[in-house]
């Protein structure tokens, strides 16, 4: 693909994604796009930044249903190296046996399910959710000479997909409520700086009781047990 062709493709593709009015249309459009790239199926995984140890995951896929069920039943999410590598948005990952060497039977079972070759790349949403787009083929070595092209195009497709899900208010993009008052945001920022409730009350010229009241409310909204977690979660989703 030449530079001129890429920018034509980019402009036309963006218009197609902007024209979507329902989330269910996204799956068909992504399938069309990946077939144009010479692949057969895709998985678009949305991973939330919090909770840190058990992030919520949403999957949009045209992979064989039997493989998806097997992947989930074996909890391959926990060992899949693609998910680790794609935490860095825009970095393409070419599938091969070496990549999956420490992932148990994942690579062998994926091959048996018809996923003989593939490529993945990710993008990040404004709420810090990661969207990982993976494409696969039943034929080997489909990515060997296309790495740069696939990295650029898949990153853009993942970015557009996240924008669609955000614009259409899909549940997969609801990380945590961002409906915080200016006062709450101020308290969050000073909490993240390590200030105590007493110190924050002096800085903001409000009572310590008021600081504690807001912190307790935010703990409930974040579903966390202490104010340190509030600050960590707020930072993770780009709130502060």
Distance CA 25, CA 8 (A): 22
- pLDDT value of position 205: 93
| Strands 41-47 vs 57-61: parallel, antiparallel or unpaired | antiparallel
Measured in Å, how far apart are the chain's first and last C-alpha atoms? 40
Nearest to 194 by CA among 229, 236, 237, 228: 228
Tell me the pLDDT tens digit for each residue of 105-158.
Answer: 999 999 999 999 999 999 999 888 999 999 999 998 766 678 889 999 999 999
For residue range 64-76, what is the model confidence (pLDDT) as tens digits?
999 999 999 999 9
pTM of the model: 0.81
Structure tokens at 231: 């600050």
Q: How many domains does the chain have?
A: 2
Q: Are residues 30 and 47 in the same domain?
A: yes
Query: Rg of the Cα trace of the chain?
Result: 21
Structural domain span for residue 207 = 182-236
> Do both 232 and 152 map to the same domain?
no
Residue 139 shares a structural domain with residue 37? yes
Domain termination residue (choose one: 118, 139, 173): 173
Q: Which residue has the higher pLDDT, 237 or 113?
A: 113
pLDDT of 176 > 80? The answer is no
Number of residues in the chain: 240
pLDDT for 146 equals 82
Q: In the chain, where does DSSP find H-type helix?
A: 3-18, 24-36, 65-73, 81-85, 106-112, 147-167, 182-192, 197-204, 208-222, 227-236
């Amino acid at each position: 693909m030449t530079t001129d062709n890429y920018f034509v493709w980019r402009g036309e593709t963006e218009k197609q994604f902007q024209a979507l009015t329902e989330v269910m249309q996204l799956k068909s459009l992504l399938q069309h796009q990946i077939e144009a790239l010479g692949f057969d199926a895709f998985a678009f995984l949305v991973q939330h930044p919090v909770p840190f140890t058990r992030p919520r995951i949403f999957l949009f896929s045209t992979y064989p249903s039997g493989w998806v069920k097997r992947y989930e039943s074996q909890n391959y999410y926990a060992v899949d190296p693609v998910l680790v590598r794609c935490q860095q948005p825009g970095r393409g990952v070419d599938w091969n046996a070496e990549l999956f060497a420490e992932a148990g039977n994942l690579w062998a079972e994926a091959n048996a399910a018809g996923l003989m070759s593939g490529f993945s790349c990710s993008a990040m949403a404004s709420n810090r959710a990661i969207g990982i787009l993976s494409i696969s083929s039943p034929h080997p070595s489909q990515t060997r000479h296309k790495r740069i092209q696939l990295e650029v195009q898949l990153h853009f497709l993942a970015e557009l997909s996240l924008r669609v899900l955000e614009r259409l208010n899909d549940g997969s993009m609801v990380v945590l409520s961002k409906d915080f008052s200016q006062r709450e945001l101020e308290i969050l920022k000073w909490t993240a700086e390590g200030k105590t409730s007493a110190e924050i009350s002096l800085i903001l010229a409000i009572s310590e009781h008021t600081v504690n009241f807001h912190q307790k409310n935010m703990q409930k909204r974040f579903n966390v047990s202490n104010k340190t977690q509030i600050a960590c979660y707020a930072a993770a989703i780009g709130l502060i």
